[in-house]
Structure 1
Amino acid sequence: MRPPFQIDIVSKHRCQLGECPVWDVKKQVICWIDILRGEIHQYSPVDSTHVKLAVPPLTGSMALCKDGNFIAALRSGISFIDRKTAEIKFISNPETHLPFNRFNEGKCDPEGRFWVGTMSLTDEEKKGSVYALDEKLKIDKKITEVSISNGLAWSGDKKTLYYIDTPTFEIVSYDYDSSTGTITNRKVVIKVSEKDGYPDGMTIDNEGMLWVAHWDGWQITRWDPINGEKLLSIPMPVARVTSCTFGGKNLNDLYVTSARTGLSTSDLKKQPEAGAIFVIRNSSFKGLPAIEFNY
């Protein structure tokens, strides 16, 4: 019988829309963003220091770069962000013709390409796409007709991409060629029940199992993508659970972001910790290191 998981609050800060947690192995800090306020946060569990970097609102996601800075998907396009000064260096925007779209979830693949999806600001269906930016700063469209682009994860053997388009309540897989970034052979591998809440951000552990955050689902779940079985559910003290990643010295601490946007006053009385970032230390599971952008 597994003992109950202890869920701790990482920081007193509350995000409007906390997202995209990334563990920085080199600095041993957890980084995450507040999409609506336009903030990148960094917290050190070693000395409890919390640093906030101001970025433009509607910055949908970010990843680490090999030089220690960030690559991020801003409303205006994909850009480099200096970690100390917040200076922005624009790279590319493949959707200048779609002013009512914004970028959402993004992550680096095993070869260091930055993958990022888009979505409609007005919740129109199938208006988004998924793109990949390579080390030469060339951007390619990978997936089309996406509604709310969310979870991305690659298998440890670099052969499979897992992906979530939230309103479908499905997790799909693609055969992934790490040398070219090509994806083929789309398959639905997991079907999420609507009563579990919307599947949002996602990570993968070293056993190849997928961890999914559930918006309006009050939980994190663990799934076997081979047979589609739900293996575990961890109840959370907030409804709008947005994403998760493994961190800590041994990559066995599970960090979980959340949101408070759209919640009523009565909702917030019931879940005052909404918008917090949480950690489940020594989870008994282990993740994989975050890949840095290869540039």
Structure 2
Amino acid sequence: MTEKIELVLDAKAELGEGPCWDARTGILYWVDIEGEKVCAFNPTTGENKEIVLDQQVSAVVPTLNKDKLIVALEKGLFYLQEQTEELQLITEIERNLPDNRTNDGKCDAYGRFWIGTMNKKEEKEQGALYCLDTNGEFTKKLDNISTSNGLAWDKNNNYMYYIDTPTQKVLRYEFALDTAILGKAVEVVDFSDEEGFPDGMTIDQEGMLWIAHWGGSKVSRWNPNTNKKLEDIELPVLNVTSCTFGGGNLQELYITTARTGMSEEQLEKYPLSGGLFKATTKVAGMQSAFVADSI
């Protein structure tokens, strides 16, 4: 299924995360959480523009306005003007929980922005999953979350897939696109026998899930209807964090990685840790959605 894997940027990111492809411009946005950077990678030129902020940033998604991004900082959601690097607060998040920060975030097909939180000391069930609706309403959708991570929606928007990393499971929620209401949840992937932990996630046109292995040196492809793994993509790094489809035909899987917390021996073994990789696939992915202008 996967033809080749290549390092496209030896970024040496501390905690590369949150890749999001803008099909309008051919730019891959991603973040270095601990490096406090929002990055815009141009595959054509190889240029990686960096916007350095003054706090950790865990997610970035373009808006329908091409000059404006939405970013998740430690304690809030902000608009980021890409040209001027100006930040504008949209909403604060968990100001009453100083040991929490935001983590993975993604936009649904309606233009809503979903963002999860986690405890910085990795204490369990201290986080939550929130949704910023197109009318500006900010609502808690799930509670007692430990490490809110991968999000994906099927092409018909009947289901939302979700990862709370320490549970070692992917859950599929019934999903109503017009209301953002989450219904019944069922387990569709059991990661307990896998190497590493499930981190970020994306979905392809066939409805298969692609899951990054934190501590497992790979991305794996799964059939959520059968709980069967279909393929492994091995990478020359230890901590694989997330992935998304890009390129003109959405058959280039961009993969972020991390080097944070690794020992000198591990870094010697995996010198490309923190790099941005690309795998060419035979199946096309789903196009990333953009945040609505009305928020």
Q: After TM superposition, is the score higher than 0.5?
A: yes
Q: Output the TM-score relative to the length of structure 1.
A: 0.97
- State the alpha-carbon separation in 1 of the partners of residues 193 and 71 from structure 2: 31
- State the alpha-carbon separation in 2 of the partners of residues 233 and 49 from structure 1: 29
How far apart are 1:247 and its partner, in Å? Answer: 0.3
From 282, 287, 294, the counterpart of 2:292: 294
Say yes or no: does 1:146 pair with 2:145.
yes
- State the alpha-carbon separation in 2 of the partners of residues 173 and 138 from structure 1: 24
Aligned to 2:242: 243
Do the aligned partners of 1:31 and 1:42 also contact (CA within 8 Å) in 2?
A: yes
Greater CA drift, 157-166 or 283-292? 283-292
Q: Secondary structure at the match of 1:10?
A: strand
Do the aligned partners of 1:60 and 1:73 also contact (CA within 8 Å) in 2?
A: yes
- 1:123-272 aligned at under 5 Å gives the runs 123-272=122-271
Read off the aligned partner of 2:88 and give its amino acid letter. K
- State the alpha-carbon separation in 1 of the partners of residues 194 and 181 from structure 2: 34
**Cα 1:222–1:195 shift into 2, 3 Å:** closer
- State the alpha-carbon separation in 2 of the partners of residues 49 and 238 from structure 1: 22
Q: Which runs of 5+ in 1 are unaligned?
A: none
Aligned to 1:56: 54
How far apart are 1:194 and its partner, in Å? Answer: 4.3
- State the alpha-carbon separation in 2 of the partners of residues 237 and 57 from structure 1: 29
CA offsets, 1:133-187, max 9 Å, x none? 0112110110110000000000000100000000000000100000000001011
Greater CA drift, 94-103 or 147-156? 94-103
Read off the aligned partner of 2:37 and give its amino acid letter. E
- Say which structure is richer in strand: 2
Aligned to 2:45: 47
How far apart are 1:190 and its partner, in Å? Answer: 0.9
How far apart are 1:216 and its partner, in Å? Answer: 0.3
Q: Secondary structure at the match of 1:6?
A: strand
- State the alpha-carbon separation in 2 of the partners of residues 97 and 13 from structure 1: 34
Read off the aligned partner of 1:114 and give its amino acid letter. F
Q: Secondary structure at the match of 1:163?
A: strand
How far apart are 1:76 and its partner, in Å? Answer: 2.8
- State the alpha-carbon separation in 2 of the partners of residues 12 and 153 from structure 1: 27
- State the alpha-carbon separation in 2 of the partners of residues 55 and 131 from structure 1: 23
How far apart are 1:41 and its partner, in Å? Answer: 1.1
Q: Secondary structure at the match of 1:254?
A: strand
Do the aligned partners of 2:257 and 2:273 also contact (CA within 8 Å) in 1?
A: yes
Aligned to 2:64: 66
- State the alpha-carbon separation in 2 of the partners of residues 194 and 84 from structure 1: 45
Question: Which stretches of structure 1, 4 residues or more, deviate above 4 A after TM superposition?
Answer: none
Do the aligned partners of 2:29 and 2:61 also contact (CA within 8 Å) in 1?
A: no
- State the alpha-carbon separation in 2 of the partners of residues 123 and 273 from structure 1: 26
**Cα 1:195–1:290 shift into 2, 3 Å:** closer
How far apart are 1:211 and its partner, in Å? Answer: 0.2
- State the alpha-carbon separation in 2 of the partners of residues 34 and 145 from structure 1: 26
- State the alpha-carbon separation in 2 of the partners of residues 29 and 57 from structure 1: 23
Aligned to 1:274: 273
Aligned to 1:12: 10
- State the alpha-carbon separation in 2 of the partners of residues 186 and 288 from structure 1: 22
Read off the aligned partner of 1:291 and give its amino acid letter. A
Do the aligned partners of 1:5 and 1:234 also contact (CA within 8 Å) in 2?
A: no
Q: Output the TM-score relative to the length of structure 2.
A: 0.97
Identity of aligned residues (%): 38
Q: Secondary structure at the match of 1:7?
A: strand
Read off the aligned partner of 1:93 and give its amino acid letter. E
- State the alpha-carbon separation in 1 of the partners of residues 131 and 208 from structure 2: 24
- State the alpha-carbon separation in 1 of the partners of residues 78 and 114 from structure 2: 13
How far apart are 1:121 and its partner, in Å? Answer: 0.9
Do the aligned partners of 1:169 and 1:194 also contact (CA within 8 Å) in 2?
A: no
Read off the aligned partner of 2:190 and give its amino acid letter. K
Aligned to 1:86: 85
Do the aligned partners of 2:169 and 2:192 also contact (CA within 8 Å) in 1?
A: no
Read off the aligned partner of 2:220 and give its amino acid letter. T
Do the aligned partners of 2:3 and 2:282 also contact (CA within 8 Å) in 1?
A: no
Q: Which runs of 5+ in 2 are unaligned?
A: none
Q: Secondary structure at the match of 1:257?
A: strand
CA RMSD of aligned residues (A): 1.1
Q: Secondary structure at the match of 1:60?
A: strand
